[in-house]
């Protein structure tokens, strides 16, 4: 019999979670409109330029929070006031160092406004920061051993893993020149939505293709509220070391911030500037077979523990929703309806995955006097789908899909009927601790010692066996060099004769 030949599975790169924290902070302050106001129409906030710096056992978070106030003056002019505050957090994080991979996502949970006096508004914004620090771990698993003795017994297992090639957050500045059909007195809002997104992996690169839909709500020089739609082709390439054609890629994007400025004092041309955050992960789902145990005479086996994230199931759920909403009386037109899914939670029960959350809507309305009204509400949303797994100890990740369709109709002056297709992407996995074989050695007993084979019984120890067969313990160890400390029931060992 020749030497053992050990075949190892190619190195699989996985992410090990080193640190995770959810930070909820409230930022309060005052906004001072530039003119006396008679009504506060709407307030909103967005988070941008989030960055993480890692030091030994420390996580530093920096970013910006922009709070925007829409208000009306005594002449029914709609005006806007914005203020930006810094986000700064320092977190203690054991075992974190600068070479690890940081992931951060921020969202606005709540915004409150209160009139302090005729030229001051108190505004309070609560945000949530989800912070994860990951460490790249290279896992090498034995999947085959050749030239084993005929009496040797080999045991194997298999898992589905997410072999990660690269994962990174990119910030991209996008700007374009926008021309309006009429002169604008005030630009109320510019919304952006990246639609029909397709991502493709290339060598050391990921390309993203889609269409950028831009929606501009503005007031013209006659004080009529108007809406203009633009659609611009979108294409970007991002460097991702190790990427190859044909790999799987996950892309999530959000608008970090946006602003606009007139072109040379023009009233109907402006430069639209946005900061986009792209979270890109390149990976490959693969089934990995590995050796969990080897038993046999003359074999010395060493094991190690490996923690992996076992991918169980992926699915996409799309639901059609029909909504009827009461709005303030006297509305003539719906200019825009902006919706975002928030607070998504999931659980698995009796073969069903149940997801609940809220649809936050911002309605831009035009009343009978051509005055712009803004209304916001939160609507409970539920998704349900069948899954072939049980829910105990499962990790469920839920991501909202871009809206495929929102159709709204003003049925009378106080009711809006909406038809929307909303979707979520779901990943179900579980953490596994694998006890795998790391090395196997073939150790032959000395040829001049005659032995018999014995199967270890329940309650046996080496001392008990040595007394039973009236042999020295040292002689048992001499002909069983693979034994280090303890023996186990069912193990085959040699006994000197």
* Among candidate residues 437, 179, 457, 424, the one with its CA nearest the CA of residue 291: 437
Q: At 480, which CATH number?
A: 3.10.350.10
Say what the pLDDT of residue 405 is.
59
Co-location of 49 and 118 in the same domain? yes
SS3 274: strand
Which DSSP symbol is given to 56? T
C-alpha 57/C-alpha 96 separation (Å) is: 5
Q: Decide if pLDDT at 208 tops 60.
A: yes
**Domain C-terminal end among 242, 268, 297:** 297
Say what the pLDDT of residue 24 is.
93
- Which helix (H) or strand (E) element contains residue 479? helix 473-479
User: Which structural domain, as residue segments, surrounds residue 372?
Assistant: 310-434
Say what the pLDDT of residue 106 is.
85
Q: Is residue 290 part of a domain?
A: yes
Q: Is residue 231 part of a domain?
A: yes
Which DSSP symbol is given to 77? -
**What's the whole-number average pLDDT of the chain?**
82
Co-location of 293 and 145 in the same domain? yes
C-alpha 363/C-alpha 404 separation (Å) is: 18
Residue count of the chain: 497
Q: What is the DSSP track for 377-411?
A: EEEEEEEEEE-SS--TT-EEEEEEPPPSEEEEEEE
C-alpha 61/C-alpha 63 separation (Å) is: 7
Q: Say if CB 300 and CB 482 are below 8 A apart.
A: yes
Better-predicted residue by pLDDT, 346 or 303: 346
Q: Decide if pLDDT at 447 tops 70.
A: no
Q: Say if CB 134 and CB 152 are below 8 A apart.
A: no
What mean pLDDT do residues 113-124 have?
Answer: 85
CA separation, residue 342 to residues 107, 158, 194, 361, 393 (Å): 9, 36, 18, 11, 24
Say what the pLDDT of residue 265 is.
62
Say what the pLDDT of residue 444 is.
65
The tens digit of pLDDT for each residue in 314-324 reads 888 888 888 77
Q: Is residue 439 part of a domain?
A: no
Q: Please report, rounded to a whole number, the percentage of residues in the chain having pLDDT higher than 70.
A: 93
- How many domains, in total, are found in the chain? 4
Co-location of 150 and 122 in the same domain? no
Weakest mean pLDDT among 132-136, 185-189, 209-213, 355-359: 185-189
Which DSSP symbol is given to 462? H
Co-location of 351 and 314 in the same domain? yes
What mean pLDDT do residues 159-182 have?
Answer: 82
Co-location of 422 and 341 in the same domain? yes
CA separation, residue 25 to residues 46, 83, 140, 277, 393 (Å): 14, 17, 42, 21, 29
Better-predicted residue by pLDDT, 310 or 213: 213
Co-location of 253 and 318 in the same domain? no
C-alpha 71/C-alpha 40 separation (Å) is: 4
The tens digit of pLDDT for each residue in 363-389 reads 888 777 777 777 777 888 888 889 888
Co-location of 358 and 247 in the same domain? no
* Among candidate residues 344, 356, 343, 349, the one with its CA nearest the CA of residue 394: 349
The token pair that represents 164 in the structure block? 């990660």
CA atoms within 13 A on the CB side of 29: 15
Q: Is residue 203 part of a domain?
A: yes
SS3 476: helix
Q: Say if CB 28 and CB 123 are below 8 A apart.
A: yes
Please, which residues bridge with residue 11 across strands?
A: none
Q: Is residue 348 part of a domain?
A: yes
Q: Say if CB 359 and CB 381 are below 8 A apart.
A: yes
């Amino acid at each position: 019999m020749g030497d053992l030949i050990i075949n190892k599975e190619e190195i699989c790169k996985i992410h090990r979670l080193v640190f995770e924290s959810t930070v909820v902070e409230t930022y309060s302050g005052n906004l001072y409109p530039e003119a006396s106001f008679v009504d506060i129409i709407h307030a909103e906030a967005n988070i941008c330029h989030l960055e993480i710096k890692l030091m030994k056992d420390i996580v530093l978070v920096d970013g910006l929070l922009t709070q925007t106030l829409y208000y009306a003056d005594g002449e029914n002019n709609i005006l806007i006031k914005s203020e930006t505050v810094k986000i700064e957090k320092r977190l203690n994080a054991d075992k974190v160092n600068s070479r690890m991979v940081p992931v951060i996502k921020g969202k606005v949970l709540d915004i409150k406004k209160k009139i302090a006096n005729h030229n001051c508004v108190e505004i309070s914004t609560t945000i949530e920061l989800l912070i994860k620090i990951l460490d790249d771990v290279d896992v090498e698993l034995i999947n085959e051993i050749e030239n084993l003795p005929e009496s040797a017994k080999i045991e194997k297992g298999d898992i589905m893993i997410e072999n990660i090639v690269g994962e990174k957050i990119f910030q991209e500045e996008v700007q374009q020149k926008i021309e309006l059909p009429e002169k604008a007195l005030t630009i109320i809002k510019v919304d952006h939505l990246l639609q029909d997104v397709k991502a493709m992996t290339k060598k050391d690169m990921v390309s993203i293709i889609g269409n950028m839909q831009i929606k501009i709500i503005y007031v013209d020089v006659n004080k009529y509220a108007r809406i203009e739609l633009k659609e611009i082709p979108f294409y970007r390439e991002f460097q991702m070391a190790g990427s190859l054609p044909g790999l799987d890629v996950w892309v999530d994007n959000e608008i970090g911030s946006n602003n606009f400025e007139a072109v040379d004092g023009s009233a109907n041309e402006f430069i639209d500037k946005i900061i986009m955050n792209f979270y890109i992960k390149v990976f490959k789902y693969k089934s990995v077979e590995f050796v969990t145990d080897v038993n046999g005479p003359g074999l010395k086996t060493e094991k190690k523990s490996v923690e992996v994230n076992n991918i169980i199931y992926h699915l996409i759920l799309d639901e059609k929703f029909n909504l009827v909403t009461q709005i303030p009386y006297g509305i003539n037109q719906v200019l825009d309806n902006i919706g975002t899914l928030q607070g998504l939670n999931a659980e698995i029960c009796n073969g069903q995955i149940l997801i609940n959350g809220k649809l936050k809507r911002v309605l831009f309305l035009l009343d009978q006097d051509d005055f712009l009204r803004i209304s916001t509400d939160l609507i409970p949303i539920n998704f349900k789908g069948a899954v072939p797994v049980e829910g105990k100890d499962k990790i469920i990740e839920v991501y909202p899909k871009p809206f495929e369709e929102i159709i709204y109709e003003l049925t009378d002056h106080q009711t809006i009927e909406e038809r929307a297709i909303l979707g979520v992407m779901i990943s179900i996995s579980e953490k596994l601790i694998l006890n795998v074989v790391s090395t196997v050695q073939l150790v032959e007993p000395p040829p001049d010692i005659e032995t018999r084979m014995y199967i270890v019984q329940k309650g046996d120890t080496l001392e008990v066996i040595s007394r039973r067969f009236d042999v020295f313990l040292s002689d048992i160890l001499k002909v069983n060099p693979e034994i280090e400390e303890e023996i186990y029931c069912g193990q085959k060992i040699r006994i000197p004769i």
